[in-house]
Amino acid sequence: MHIPGKLKICLVFALGLAFSFLHSQPLLAQNFYKMNYSLAKKITQNERSSTPVSLFVKGNVEEIISKSESLNGTVKYSAGDIVAITIPLNKVSSLANNKDVLRMEDSEMKLELMNDRMLANNNVTPVHLGITPLTSAYKGKDIVMGVIDTGIDYTHPDFKDFNGKSRIKYIWDHNLPPGTNSPFPYNYGEEFTDSMIDNNLASDHYDRINGHGTHVAGIAAGNGIAVNNYTGVAPEADLVIVSLDFNLGGSPWLTSVADAVSYIFEKADALGKPCVINISAGTYFGSHDGKDLQAQVIDNLITQQNGRSVVCAAGNAGNIPIHTRNNVNSDTTFTWFDFTSGSIVIDMWADTTDLNQVEFAIGADNTSPAFSYRGRTDFRNVQNQLGFVDADTIFNGSNRIAVVQYFGQLVDDRYVMSCNIIPDSTTYLFRLMATGSGMFDVWSFEMVSSNLPSPTDFPDILNYVTPDLEQNMVSSFACSDEVITVAQYINRNWYTDVNGNIQTFPTVEGAIADASSKGPTRDGRIKPDIAATGDATLSCADLSSIPWFLANQPFKLAAGGKHIRDGGTSSSSPVVAGIIALLMEQNPSADNQDIKNALLSCVKTDAFTGTSLPNNTWGHGKVDAFQVLSNCTPVGIEEHSNSNQLIVVPNPVSTNQEISFVLSKELIGKKLLIDIRSLSGQKLHEQAVSHDLNKIQLSNISAGVYFIRLFADDTLVSSSKLVVID
């Protein structure tokens, strides 16, 4: 059968191109295969246009360069046998007809940041672009981003500048033995400088735990130049990294964290730059009130001078029952602890007034063939155990079941009563028993919360205190008012992996993550402070781990093969740290409470957060970078630092006293609103004011320091501190 020539061409190109497309095209038909579809379409639609287009051209490099320049094209660079050029669209056909050109490609696809979900969900992109009313784009320039974690892959391109120089100013690796490079005055671990990194003298350092620190640092400050623009929040910040030794336990570990905070602030001071530190690590044990010495040291380091802030992860135990609050009465209540190995350590924390009248004991129960109570120690009171170790024994008849050690401490206005159970057998559940009057809290992963017997089978179970899903955030500095503690919500529920496969998750974007830990603190303060995106975030991978993931779990690697999926509050915390770096770039002199107030006063709320904020799941709401920098800038920033639009008198003021406002003439005719907030951002009072109605009665506001803010036509125009005294 005879097929017309033009139809032959049409059949050859199964691209859906119209017959008229080919008929009108002056390009030789046999050269269409050199182009991608979008370039061919541009030529047919605008074949006479002199609009420049950017192309990659593959073939004989010298001939491509010569021919392109002769056609008024511009050669940008070459890589291997591919040349990057810009050339007028009406010259593309002539270039394609050259025998030395093997392939030409442009793209009509809109380039999107591969961290687009994280940047968009936290409203960071408008800050990077400097959208009005911002007068500049902010990317963390001249700010130090400290990351206290597992280390960093300093070879990853996202931590280098465009000249290939390291953006990491210092690494302090706690895991290495002391040596000539141990930083003074800490005298342990080893320090590496940017010069050492650039000169290949830092090979002893690596990211030790699954690339966790690398991923976290990428979210906070990766610049996205490795591949596909996986950009972090503060891509122009300098980095100071501390690699913790996670084999340390208890107080040494917490001390090393405080050392790391001190070290990073010292380095930032030496560089003459403000500093924000991210800590995506913590311990679930302790008082959960932020009053331990390590937390106090970190508080003091933060408040020592302006331009300092610390952000931490709330924890990932939101769906794990690790906490009980035992409200003790005359009935003997109990909670079981399961023995796995070694010993069981139980710490009971309480204010002194809450534990004075509580009597407690440790008992044991057999579980097979049926639940049966086997015996207990004597009941005792914490006041009789202060400052010394005492021991008791659980017997069932003459059969010894366990030895129990007790130790009580009075720490300021708190008691901690510790019980160390050393069992003789793994066949028992051990019960913490309490009677009397009072209250105490316990945190443990060994408490039994499921498969409990029925009251019919085991009547004692009616007095069982079941572990709950409250107060399951990490302890120590995370419970401090000076540290900003971050919850996590779902960032995305799909992505394209390294092999081009779509990976999906049965989660709802924007909803709180089940694992996000909740507050409050033991003493009832709202925590976490704020929420940001966590699951699932794409960020830098430890490059040395890539071959293993390619072979075993390629679905975790993102497109491009240099980034990986991770999540949790470890991923939400560096988002907030990065936003603080942007805020510090805008206002280098802000103090920590200024920063916290700005962050918590301009949150994003939606159907997921609800309107009952702050609460112990979301904190004050979802972080909103653009609003923070454009509408809730802290006291001291240029926009407000010289503002005389609001003068408060008297200030300081006594409780229940009336205060007056002196309002500038520029505010006449505008809708004016005053609000008063705590330093943590909780709104305590709100009132419309004017030049005539310019007084507020300070009722129900106790002594302390607050923020008083003036809004004109819903825009913040002035913010200052209000001191209330008894």
Asked if the structure places residue 328 within a domain, the reply is: yes
Task: Report the alpha-carbon distance of residue 646 to residue 686 in Å, rounded.
Answer: 15
**Which pair of structure tokens corresponds to residue 584?**
């510090």
Lowest-pLDDT range of 103-112, 186-195, 678-687: 103-112
**Sequence-separated (6 or more) residues with CB below 8 Å from residue 607:** none
> Would you state the pLDDT for residue 637?
37
Residue 281 in any domain: the answer is yes
Same domain, 329 and 264: no
Task: Judge whether 637 lies within some domain.
Answer: no
- Does the residue 563 lie in any domain? yes
Q: Is there a domain that residue 516 lies in?
A: yes
138, 251: one domain: yes
Mean pLDDT of 141-158: 96
**Could you give the percent of the chain with pLDDT greater than 70?**
88
CATH number reported for the structural domain that contains residue 426 in this entry:
2.60.120
The answer to whether residues 418 and 439 belong to one domain is: yes
CATH of the domain at 708: 2.60.40.1930
Mean pLDDT along residues 339-346: 84
- Please give the Cα distance from 115 to 377 (Å, whole number): 57
Residues 343 and 399 in one domain: yes
Nearest-5° angle of CA 4, CA 6, CA 12? 105
Q: Which residues of 124-155 are buried (b: 16+ CB within 10 A; e: fewer)?
A: bbbbbeeeeebeeebbbbebbbbbbbbbbbbb
pLDDT at 21: 33
Say if residues 423 and 343 touch (Cβ distance below 8 Å): yes
Q: Residue 183 is part of a domain; what is its CATH number?
A: 3.40.50.200
Q: Which of 441, 463, 485 is the last residue of a domain?
A: 463
Residue 110 within any structural domain of the chain: no
Does residue 218 carry a pLDDT above 80?
yes
The residue segments making up the domain with residue 78 are 5-105
- Contact present, 16 and 64 (Cβ < 8 Å): no
Tell me, yes or no, whether 332 and 302 share the same domain: no
**Residue the block writes with tokens 């990065």:** 578
In a domain, 129, yes or no: yes
Q: Are residues 482 and 359 in the same domain?
A: no
Do 238 and 277 belong together in one domain? yes
Based on the fold, state whether residues 519 and 616 are members of the same structural domain.
yes
**pLDDT for res 342:** 79
12 vs 402 pLDDT, higher one: 402
Q: Kindly state whether residues 286 and 366 are assigned to the same domain.
A: no
CA 60 to chain centre: 48
Q: Indicate if 337 and 406 belong to the same structural domain.
A: yes
The pTM of this model reads 0.73
Number of structural domains (the chain) is: 4
Same domain, 545 and 603: yes
In the prediction, which pLDDT does 8 show? Answer: 31
Residue that is last in its domain, among 434, 463, 492: 463
CB atoms within 10 A of CB 534: 30
Please identify, among 105, 125, 157, the residue that sits at the C-terminal boundary of a domain: 105
More reliable by pLDDT, 277 or 671? 277
Report if residue 275 sits inside a domain. Answer: yes
Please, are residues 220 and 145 in contact by the beta-carbon 8 Å criterion?
yes
pLDDT band at 680 (very low <50, low <70, confident <90, very high): low
Same domain, 311 and 327: no
By the 8 A CB rule, do 511 and 608 touch? yes
